[in-house]
Amino acid sequence: MAEQSNELQKLTAIATDLELSAELRTKATELLGNIGTRQALLALLDLAANEGLASEERDLALRHAREIIKSGR
- pLDDT, tens digit, 9 for 90 and up, residues 53-66: 999 999 999 999 99
Question: Among candidates 49, 40, 47, 42, which has minimal Cα distance to 61?
Answer: 47
Alpha-carbon Rg for the chain, nearest whole angstrom, is 11
Distance CA 55, CA 47 (A): 10
Q: Render pLDDT for 7-22 as a digit per residue (tens, 0 to 9).
A: 999 999 999 999 999 9
Residue 45, number of CB atoms within 10 A of its CB:
16
